[in-house]
Structure 1
Amino acid sequence: MHRAKLDETALATSLQLLNAGAGAGAPWSIQDGKLHKTFHFRDFSEAFGFMTRVALAAEAMDHHPNWSNVYKTVHVDLSTHDAGGITELDFTLAARMDAIAG
């Protein structure tokens, strides 16, 4: 169900809905065929805490982000490998990340 690759129309609609609910901060975008966002935090501890909370949520979803952390910045790229692109599962995890980031 969540693992079907979204077409361009569904991607645009889902991205618009995700960003409408994201609140303040950088919006999500599509970059290199992945759902992308950069999160900025006050310091390393806050960034690492965010990553820890997301890791637990991602594990429960059996869906894992491609991400990196440098000091207080976390770069995230989401796609569903077995679907060959972005799926609803990616948008579900992205919304969860936004909620965790506050």
Structure 2
Amino acid sequence: MSTPLLTESEIVDALATLPAWTRSGAALTRSIEADSFLTGIELVRAVAEVAEATDHHPDIDIRWRKILFTLSTHSAGGLTELDLALAREIDRLAPKYAGADVPNE
């Protein structure tokens, strides 16, 4: 069973409720700077647990204390409700581990 792609209107509406996220083509991105490298790894682990539980996995790039999350439903070819749900979970988890958001590059 495939997950339907979000419409342009649904994406715009969702981004209004996800201010830390940026649209990058067919994906959402958020960069977070953790308090330390190990704290960043703890955030990645917490997100990985959610990803495993929901069977929806983000692309994660770790550069010292900076973690870049990229969300897209590859099987659907773009953004779906699964990505929005994972973005909300990352937003819920981030304050426990993060020092600050950093601009997406």
Q: In the aligned structure 1, how far is the partner of 2:40 from the partner of 2:25?
A: 24
Q: Which one of the candidate residues 77, 94, 98 is aligned to 1:84?
A: 77
The answer to whether structure 1 residue 99 and structure 2 residue 92 are counterparts is: yes
* One-letter identity of the residue aligned with 1:16: A
TM-score normalised by structure 2 residue count: 0.85
TM-score normalised by structure 1 residue count: 0.87
Aligned partner of 1:12 in structure 2 is 12
Any stretches of 5+ residues in structure 2 without a counterpart? 96-105
CA RMSD of aligned residues (A): 1.4
Aligned partner of 1:66 in structure 2 is 59
Q: Which one of the candidate residues 20, 29, 37 is aligned to 1:36?
A: 29
Offset, 1:32:
2.5
The answer to whether structure 1 residue 52 and structure 2 residue 71 are counterparts is: no
Any stretches of 5+ residues in structure 1 without a counterpart? 20-26
* One-letter identity of the residue aligned with 2:8: E
Larger fraction in strand: 2
Larger fraction in helix: 1
**8 A contact 2:2–2:76 mirrored in 1:** no
Alignment coverage as a number of residue pairs: 95
